[in-house]
Structure 1
Amino acid sequence: MASPEKAAPVSEGEDVIQAAHREQDIQHVAERGQMATDKYGQPLFQFDAKAESRLRTKIDLFIVPTVAVLYLFCFIDRANIGKFSCSRERPRAPHTPYLSCMTHANASPGNARLAGLEKDLHLKGNDYNTVLSVFYISYIIFEIPSNILCKWVGPGWFLPAISLGSSLGTAFVKDMPAVCGVRFLLGIFEAGMLPGIAYYLSRWYRRAELAFRLSLYIVMAPLAGAFGGLLASAILKLSHFGGLHAWRMIFAIEGIITIGLSLIAFITLTDRPSTARWLTPDEQALAIARVKSERVGATHVLDGIDTIKLKRGLTSPLTIATSFVFLLNNVTVQGLAFFAPTIVATIYPDKSTIQKQLYTVPPYVVGAFFTVLIPLLSWRFDRRQIFMVISAPLTMVGYIMFLASNVAKVRYAATFLIALSAFSLGALTNAQVSANVVTDTARSSAIGMNVMMGNIGGLIATWSFLWYDGPDYHIGNGLNLATSSTVLIVTILTLLWMKRDNKKRAQRNVEEELTGLTDKEIEDLDWKHPAFKWRP
């Protein structure tokens, strides 16, 4: 059998025997205990581009739709409670109407809250903000543990299992303590969904490919606003569902749909390339080898869990900086969801509630488009940090327009600028922390850390737009201008640091630093490996 170092890409006219040897080499390196890079981090293979393209398309078709639909309905399921309402009126000045509109996550206006949930549960004052916060508390606490558990159990089983924890129970709550309890439990189940899918996809794709694939399911969040509203409207046309009425029907029916999809996912979701029956043995070997070829010092793709590598993922400078950026960005993304309905209501005060809902759709459509487009460009250029840098100024301009102008249409235009620039960072930041660690274990903790920090930003957002600050919300919008400005500073400094540190790493003596280390000790180095380079 030819050695991996001598393997070469299959070219047109290559001898059949050489091609056969090459396939054997790939399978050999794909096995546990075999490295796919040399000690300097250079890949031992140049894979056939056409074979990779066919494999990538096959993975796209079998993996991405399943996780995207699962995430869509899980997002709709939990976001129903946090949707738009203009339920309070308080005089801002004599004879001047006051409008207080609240949303949650990337959800569109309407649904459960409009259908009477707040009234039926006797929520008053800031009770609604408290209900939203309870979900985020458990969501944040269990983020990292859930992703570690996802690795231990296996994503093919773990993701469908946590999807079973739908908000079906919300249909039967009677008061605030009950709804808070259900929301807390829902946060525990859903804590592993976003980071779990990101980690799962990192088992299948190269670093350059990952951001775009992440965007294909993260885009379900803004799309859930429109689709969830239509589905809820259709449900509310029913007179009853069993013994349930109004908003309770929404939670019951959508919860049942989510559970049904989860059960199907147990069958359709493949845990890893080596267990994918829809891949041939050669395709399985290629899927493993091409991912391993980017992991310096890694002897296998799916390593065992250990404390050292978990800490490597959590303490990576790139993980810390990027997760802080995602925290700041999530304050903005969630904040836009809070403020957009108010803008629409001030532009079209005489329109019906349904018409106002429809006017909130275009910014989310634009946001959804750029959520996919920017990571697509990231894939083509194999760059993530520069796109994070570019996003910040547009968001800053949007919030400057909010604060500087009282013209409703100017503010409405600002929502488009923010939506097209801010939404894509969900995919970019998760792809960035994934690209800048080596081992599978470090990747699970790094992605968990990033999403946990992002949801701290979501928690902040639930208390950033309060009723007494409306209708202009100077405090909330000022905060979002500050966060987007900080994103610009942090992303630029991080990019400059990556380039500077890579120059220092280029001067290190790889052979000298690795002398005397076992394969296990070399693998545990992760991003501290002397041949590792930061990937901007």
Structure 2
Amino acid sequence: MAHTSSYDNSKPTAVHLEMGPEQGFEDKADLSGQAATDEHGHSLLHFDPAAERRLVRKIDLYIVPTVAMLYLFCFIDRANIGNARLAGFEKDLHLTGLDYNKVLSVFYISYIIFEIPSTVACKILGPGWFLPGTALGFGILTVAFAFVRDIQTACAVRFLLGMFEAGMLPGIAYYMSRWYRRSELAFRLALYVMMAPLGGAFGGLLASAILRLDSFGSVHTWKMIFAIEGIVTIGLALLSFVTLTDRPETARWLSHEEKLLAINRLKSERVGTTEVLDRMDTKKVLRGILNPVVLATSWVFLLACITVQGLSFFAPTIIRTIYPNATVVHQQLLTVPPFVLGATAILVVNFTSWKTDKRNIYMGVSALPVIVGYIMFLASTNAKVRYAAVFIIATGAFNSGALCNAQVAANVVSDTARSSAIGTNVMFGNIGGIISTWAFLPGDKPNYPIGNGLNLAAQSLILITCVGMALWMTMDNKRRQRKDVAAELSGLSHEKIVDLDWRHPGFEWRP
């Protein structure tokens, strides 16, 4: 483009251009069909920091609470089987040997199969309809799980539950990428991803409270956990049909000027983009899936989910091996403090990520305390040492959910590529989830050396992968900076330039 800009790399949210409103490039101008960056990806817009802060606070208020509550009960509905196990689930269904692991793993089969299709469906249908619909589905199925009588029906309901839950985590991440800048996204994702450890904590508290009841309608003991928590999820899903809106243009709670500001902020970070929400395009779907940073980050998420899902499903069991003489309610309560610490760590790490606009380094550093914790678990059989290890593990294990999704969202350009990239990342994560269901086997107890050793190896690989990814992105960015962008784009139509996505010569990887 013919315009000149001064690009301040140290302040990605306050890029300035000495250009007046008469030239049509003010922050609240209608730039439909126009790019908001130059050919190198530098913003052509100046944004009023105060106006941006007001807008972001409003988006935070309207968007984050609803998606956070949906994900909280999504996670509780998925992981409450671990609490039910302590309350007699295996005994009532006559599960023996590896039957419990089979019930866990069948959930991930459907989760993996429907991951990318669900994220694409979220884009096509619109998050305002898709997210409440999937929440309603898994709420109904959670209630249905209270009435299973054998392993066959348990596996069937868990398979359907996985199908409905498949779109929730990537769908929310994709939805929030429609509202937030690259630097802002990780912390906002953290505000709902922290519901995973809080779900572990709250799930334990809720389960212990529910188990104090004599009955709930016609159901008793562990069945009450699924019936009550499923009903709460159904209520939240129905409420979210009213509260969620697809995108800034359709938000009744934004003024016209705020809508334009919300759209232009995103366009100013996306090289070659003329529309924030593009049409579905197979080429751009593949750009999101086959992006090298997306694939490397997805591998990290796979490894991280081996630990996260393992903690979620087996934390009550691990606590029982540490304190075998405690009551069931006391064992449930002992699972709460580590998960609360994990939620706090998510906020701290991702707040720092937001302020530094970095993600990869925090993904790698988060593996360090987890490595230390599993070394402690393997080296000692002392109950206090092992319980302390659970706390140390929790400070790093849960951080990857927000960081990895923010990382893949930051390293694609188009909305379509972003939906498939996030879907790919979460699909890999759930491959890690299915691995985790076979990490802690009955024949391995009470010390579970295989499960703990697997988690130690996974976290070590995360550290190695993040170091390698950082080196590769640095080298490839230097290679890209040597390119003649104008010459490489010469002769290409607008459609072909847009389809380049991360292959655009002016694009740079964001670590």
Superposition TM-score, scaled by structure 2 size: 0.93
**Structure 1 gaps, min length 5:** 9-17, 84-109
Q: Distance in 2 between matches of 1:243 and 1:347?
A: 34
The superposition leaves residues 346-395 of structure 1 with CA deviations (integer Å, 9 ceiling, x where unpaired) of 55444322222222222111111001110100000000011112122222
The Cα shift of 1:345 comes to 3.8
Q: Distance in 1 between matches of 2:359 and 2:249?
A: 29
Alignment of 1:443-462 (within 5 A): 443-462=418-437
Query: 2:38–2:271: 8 Å Cα contact kept in structure 1?
Result: yes
Q: Does 1:40 align with 2:19?
A: no
Aligned to 2:277: 302
Q: Distance in 2 between matches of 1:237 and 1:314?
A: 47
Query: 1:75–1:221: 8 Å Cα contact kept in structure 2?
Result: yes
Aligned to 1:125: 97
Q: Distance in 1 between matches of 2:317 and 2:116?
A: 35
The Cα shift of 1:224 comes to 1.2
Q: Does 1:427 align with 2:402?
A: yes
The Cα shift of 1:405 comes to 2.2
| Helix, strand or coil at the partner of 1:172 | coil
The Cα shift of 1:503 comes to 0.2
Alpha-carbon spacing, 1:336–1:175, altered in 2? closer, same or farther (3 Å): closer
The Cα shift of 1:296 comes to 0.3
Q: Does 1:79 align with 2:51?
A: no
Q: Distance in 2 between matches of 1:28 and 1:238?
A: 59
Aligned to 2:12: none
Aligned to 1:164: 136
Superposition TM-score, scaled by structure 1 size: 0.89
Q: Distance in 2 between matches of 1:23 and 1:353?
A: 66
Alignment of 1:120-159 (within 5 A): 120-159=92-131
Q: Which amino acid aligns with 1:163?
A: A
Q: Does 1:245 align with 2:220?
A: yes
The Cα shift of 1:121 comes to 1.9
Alpha-carbon spacing, 1:133–1:528, altered in 2? closer, same or farther (3 Å): same
Aligned to 1:50: 50
Q: Distance in 1 between matches of 2:314 and 2:175?
A: 33
Q: Distance in 2 between matches of 1:21 and 1:119?
A: 74
The superposition leaves residues 228-282 of structure 1 with CA deviations (integer Å, 9 ceiling, x where unpaired) of 2333333334433333333333222221221111111111001100000100000
Q: Distance in 2 between matches of 1:120 and 1:411?
A: 30
Alpha-carbon spacing, 1:417–1:235, altered in 2? closer, same or farther (3 Å): closer
Q: Whose radius of gyration is greater, 1 or 2?
A: 1
Aligned to 1:516: 491
| Helix, strand or coil at the partner of 2:146 | helix
Q: 1:384 aligns with which of 359, 364, 370?
A: 359
The Cα shift of 1:308 comes to 0.4
Alignment of 1:99-114 (within 5 A): 110=83, 112-114=84-86
Alpha-carbon spacing, 1:324–1:259, altered in 2? closer, same or farther (3 Å): same
Q: Distance in 2 between matches of 1:74 and 1:378?
A: 25
**TM-align CA RMSD:** 2.1
Alpha-carbon spacing, 1:250–1:414, altered in 2? closer, same or farther (3 Å): closer
Q: Distance in 2 between matches of 1:172 and 1:254?
A: 14
Q: Which amino acid aligns with 1:124?
A: T
**Structure 2 gaps, min length 5:** 8-18
Q: Does 1:364 align with 2:339?
A: yes
The Cα shift of 1:189 comes to 0.5
Aligned to 2:13: none
Q: Which amino acid aligns with 1:140?
A: I
Aligned to 1:91: none
Q: Distance in 2 between matches of 1:238 and 1:400?
A: 40
Alpha-carbon spacing, 1:163–1:178, altered in 2? closer, same or farther (3 Å): same
Q: Which amino acid aligns with 2:309?
A: Q
Query: 1:5–1:45: 8 Å Cα contact kept in structure 2?
Result: no
